[in-house]
Structure 1
Amino acid sequence: MGVWALLFVGGWFLVGLPTDPLYAFGWLWTATIAWRIGQPWRTHLGFVRDWLPVVLLLAGYSLSRGFADNGATPHARELVAADRWMFGWALGGEVPTVWLQRHLYHPEHLYWYDVVASWVYFSHFVVALAVAVVLWLIARARWVAFMRRWLFLTIAGLVTYFLYPAAPPWWAAHYGLIEDVDRISNRGWTAVGMHGAGNLLNLGQLGVNPVAAMPSLHTAFALFVVLFFLGSVRRRWWPLLLAYPVAMTFTLVYSGEHYVIDVLVGWVYVGATFMVVGLAETLWTKWRAVTAQPAPSEPPASVPPGSPPTPRPP
């Protein structure tokens, strides 16, 4: 694990943080090999068997959402109107992204929260994957339940991008729909000398079209991971766990990546995911229980009184 950690840090600085699904898959697979170095190779290849379909689906998601607009103008005005309706009365008619950048963002100066925001934004690409890998290692049944919900949430978001392509605040500012907004989700890396840390993330942002704002899967994934474990931890730890989706929400709105309405719809998707998948699992379990019951056997034929017993075979 020490060798793996050194190689990971080297790749981090030279290539960038593992935000690409296939690149992240390689690091996660080698981490499981390093953690269970004494296991035979058929065990390590089991990770590829279980995970490759998942990673290919995530890679397809990353690529296909770039074509979701189909050449049409993405929705933006109604998202701006929704945020102004919710917060304009308190923010002087501005949307939260514009207000936050006006008060907190300075192009020539980096603050501590810019660094934290870059870390929180990056966590979207690794937290759910890392949690799923740990579950795969120690609790396969929970891993299956986790993946069902996670993939359902991902597919639901992708379908929505095709049905309702929506642009983020920085896109709306570029076309004059709101005041000036910069896309600043990666600027915090330079504050700690990690100029190459966001290389892959920047490349990925350039490779897709800006139509994946509604719903915000960034905050949806953050809330999903927390809710999956919320019932199995003590209540005193709940505020600490719930601080993660709250921090992700601030990061997305402040950095110009999403509106608040995108975040709220993402939370609705998470609730619907747990409800739909949980109901499907319950119905499937009941159906399996019914179909697994043996058919009732026929009662034995009646034997006339005084008949000799049936001889046993030798």
Structure 2
Amino acid sequence: MTAVVGAVRGAGRRVPQGARELLLVAVLLAVYKFGRLLSAESVATAKQNAYAILHLEKALRLPQEAWAQSLALGSPDLVQLANRYYAWVHFPAAAAMLLGLWFFARPNYFWIRRVMATMTMVALVLHVVLPLAPPRMLPGFVDTGLYYNESVYSSPTAAALANQYAAMPSLHVGWAIIVAAAVIATFGSRWRYLVLAHPAITLVVVVVTANHYWLDALVAAALFAVSFALVGPRGVLVRRKADYAVAA
């Protein structure tokens, strides 16, 4: 058995580190995509949960998403820009962030990847146990992507591969926060804080396009905070692992 483990570790060391990381990220994305599909058919439960979220937001005195969307609908160009931001910025921004860290700030890459993986896997569990229909599927809201023929879910292929009932938490917002954290941690310029506009804009975008609720974003932010505290550069689990390594 020891010989087998040694052979596997030796083979792993012979594979370039970049290839291992690429494979790891690909596996995580595949697991995430598969897991999202597990709850993709929970339509009735997802809509019941959606009304429960709206009632909870009302009790918390949060602004109504329908009100926020109605303000944006008066500017068609702004709404179409929001549709495109939702569709084309989420994955490219996260991918560019990971690649940039890998090539130019590798120490930050590893803890950012840990935080991102932890956050995404916990979000997957929440998507399965709490299927949630987005606002655009409820009366009183406009599916702006569908209205302007810009929906990322309009094609049969996309609809088959996506779980449209995985609104809680919003990984659009969560990953935007991670991108901002990576930039702030990597650069020393005072201008680096301008990157906070990315999660702020993403929050507005997911609400006015009726893809998420305010609570989806708040839970994503809380999930980032917990993930950072556990596996960030000075996270609880990281310190315990280091202490164990020293003791060993």
Same fold (TM over 0.5): yes
Tell me if 1:52 matches 2:12. Answer: no
Point out the structure with max Rg over C-alpha: 1
Give the deviation of 1:162 after TM superposition: 1.3
Poorly superposed stretches of 4+, deviation over 4 Å? 43-46, 185-188, 198-203
The one of 218, 242, 246 equivalent to 1:285 is 242
Tell me if 1:105 matches 2:76. Answer: no
Give the deviation of 1:99 after TM superposition: 1.2
Distance in 1, matches of 2:191 and 2:18, equals: 31
Deviations along 1:195-219, whole A, 9 cap, x unmatched?
8xx7788542453332211111110
Aligned residues: 228
Distance in 2, matches of 1:151 and 1:130, equals: 16
What is aligned with 1:61?
A: 32
What is aligned with 2:104?
A: 138
State the SS of the aligned residue for 2:45.
coil
What is aligned with 1:247?
A: 201
The letter of the residue matching 1:184 is: T
What is aligned with 2:144?
A: 184
- Aligned ranges for residues 1-314 of structure 1 at < 5 Å? 47-68=18-39, 71=42, 73-74=45-46, 75-87=49-61, 95-96=64-65, 98-105=66-73, 110-173=76-139, 179=140, 181-185=141-145, 202=155, 203-205=157-159, 207-234=161-188, 236-237=190-191, 239-277=193-231, 278-291=235-248
Give the deviation of 1:265 after TM superposition: 0.6
The letter of the residue matching 2:242 is: T
What is aligned with 2:4?
A: none
The letter of the residue matching 2:73 is: Y
Give the deviation of 1:187 after TM superposition: 6.8
**240 and 120 in structure 1: CA distance in 2 versus 1, 3 angstrom threshold:** farther
Distance in 2, matches of 1:224 and 1:232, equals: 12
**169 and 120 in structure 1: CA distance in 2 versus 1, 3 angstrom threshold:** closer
Q: Structure 1-normalised TM-score?
A: 0.64
The letter of the residue matching 1:284 is: K
Contact 1:121 1:251 in 2 (8 A): no
**219 and 121 in structure 1: CA distance in 2 versus 1, 3 angstrom threshold:** farther
Give the deviation of 1:290 after TM superposition: 2.2
Give the deviation of 1:103 after TM superposition: 2.6
Higher percent of residues as helix: 2
What is aligned with 2:3?
A: none
**199 and 68 in structure 1: CA distance in 2 versus 1, 3 angstrom threshold:** closer
The letter of the residue matching 2:72 is: L
Distance in 1, matches of 2:246 and 2:207, equals: 47
Distance in 2, matches of 1:152 and 1:265, equals: 14
Give the deviation of 1:185 after TM superposition: 4.2
State the SS of the aligned residue for 2:144.
coil
Distance in 2, matches of 1:201 and 1:140, equals: 38
Contact 2:142 2:209 in 1 (8 A): yes
